[in-house]
Structure 1
Amino acid sequence: MRHTLFDGQRDVIILLARILLMILFVMSGWSKLTGFEGTVGYLGSLGAPAPTLAAAVAVLMEFFVGILLILGFYTRPLAFLLALFVFGTALIGHPYWNMVDPERSANMIHFYKNLSIVGGLLLLAVTGAGRFSLDRR
C-alpha cells in the first residue's frame, strides 16, 4: 500500500475542499435569494426561458445545494447535479464565442472558471464527502 503526505488528513482536506468549493455558491445564492426580483430581471435580460423559474432553480442549486454539500449531505448525487447546473450556466451565461472584446475576454475567463468548478464537483462526486459529513452518519 502506498502512503502519501496527506493520508492522515484526507477527511480534513475533503471537508476544506467542500467548504472552499461552496463559498462562492452559498454567497451567490444568498444574493439571488435576497434580491430575487433583480435576479429574475437579470436572467430575463440574458434571454433565459421562464426567468422566474430559472431564478428559483438558481437559488435552490446555489444556496440550498451549496449548504447541503458543505454539510456533506447526499454529496455524490448533489455534487453531480450541481456540476450539470454549473456547466449549463457556463453555456448560457458566458457564451464568449458570440462576443467581441473586452466582453469576450471576460466571459471566456468565467466560462473556463465554471469548467474548473465542474471538475472539482465531479471529483467530489467520485470521492464523496469524507468522514466529516452527514453522509457518514
Structure 2
Amino acid sequence: MNIELRPRRLVARPALGFKSVRTARGQTGPALLLDPRSLAVNSTVLLVGRILLSIIFLVGGFGKLTGAEGFAGYLGVLGFPAPLAMAYLVGLFELAGGLAVLVGFKTTIAGYALAAFCIATGVIAHMAPDQMTTLLKNVGLAGGYLVLAAAGPGAYSVDARSSGARSSSRL
C-alpha cells in the first residue's frame, strides 16, 4: 500500500515514485508515492544516528559532572570566569542535550543547540594548530546535528509519540 502526499514541489528520491491523480478540483496532477517500508528504514537509520550522535555528549557530560574540578582547571586556563560553575553548566548542558537526542525529545531544538555548541566550543577551545582534528570533529558533529534538526527524529522517538504521528521524519 502506498501513501500519497501532495507536496508543493516534487522531488525524486530513492523508494519514491509518481503517479497521476485527480485533485479535489477535478484536475489531474502528479502525486508523490512513498513506499511504507522506506519510512521504517528511515526511522531505523535516524534512531541509529541519534544513538551515535548522543554518545559523545552523554559520556562527555557525565565526565564533566563527575570530574568538574579538572575541567574547571582547563576552563580557568582559557580565561572563563567562575570556571567551576561553568564546568557544571557545560556538563549539565552536554548530558541533557545527549539525552534529548538519544530519546528524540525536542529534537529540532536540541539539534540546533548542540550544533551551535559544537561550533562555539571549536572556536573557543580548539583553534590551536595542534587541535585541528578536534576542531574538525566539532564541525562534523555540528553538521550531523543540523541534519538531525532538519530531518526530525523519526518514528522511534518521544517527539513522534507525543505528536501521535506515525513518523516525525521530514525526509
What TM-score do you get using the length of structure 2 for normalisation?
0.70
Q: Which residue of 2 is the match for residue 111 of structure 1?
A: 135
Could you tell me how far 1:40 is from its partner in structure 2?
1.2
Indicate the residue corresponding to 2:91 in structure 1.
59
Match of 2:119, SS state, is: helix
Change (3 A) 1:121 1:2: closer
| Aligned equivalent of 1:101 | none
Question: What CA distance in whole angstroms lies between the structure 2 residues aligned with 1:74 and 1:135?
Answer: 6
Gaps in structure 2 of 5+ consecutive residues: 1-11, 16-36, 162-171
Distance 2:84 2:155 in 1: 38
Question: Are the counterparts in 2 of residues 61 and 85 from structure 1 also a CA contact under 8 Å?
Answer: no
2:66 corresponds to which letter in structure 1?
T
Which has more helix, going by share of residues? 1
State the AA in 2 paired with 1:3.
P
C-alpha distance after superposition, 1:14-42 (max 9, x if no partner)? 00000001111110111101111212112
| Superposition deviation, residue 51 in structure 1 | 1.7
TM-score calculated relative to the size of structure 1: 0.86
Per the TM alignment, residue 68 of structure 1 is displaced from its structure 2 partner at its CA by 1.4
Q: Are the structure 2 counterparts of residues 49 and 87 from structure 1 closer, same or farther at C-alpha, using a change threshold of 3 Å?
A: farther
Shift of 1:2: 4.0
More strand by share: 2
Separation of aligned partners in 2, 1:20 and 1:41: 29
Shift, 1:46, TM fit: 1.9
Q: Deviations over 1:59-99 (max 9, x none)?
A: 12211110111000000011101111111100011012xxx
Give yes or no for the alignment of 1:127 onto 2:140: no
Whole-Å Cα distance in 2 between the matches of residues 76 and 136 of structure 1? 12
Distance 1:77 1:2 in 2: 27
Change (3 A) 1:86 1:2: closer
**Count of residue correspondences:** 129
- Of residues 3, 12, 20, the one that matches 2:52 is 20
Q: What is the match of residue 42 of structure 1?
A: 74
Equivalent residue letter for 2:49: A
User: Alpha carbon RMSD of aligned pairs, Å?
Assistant: 1.8
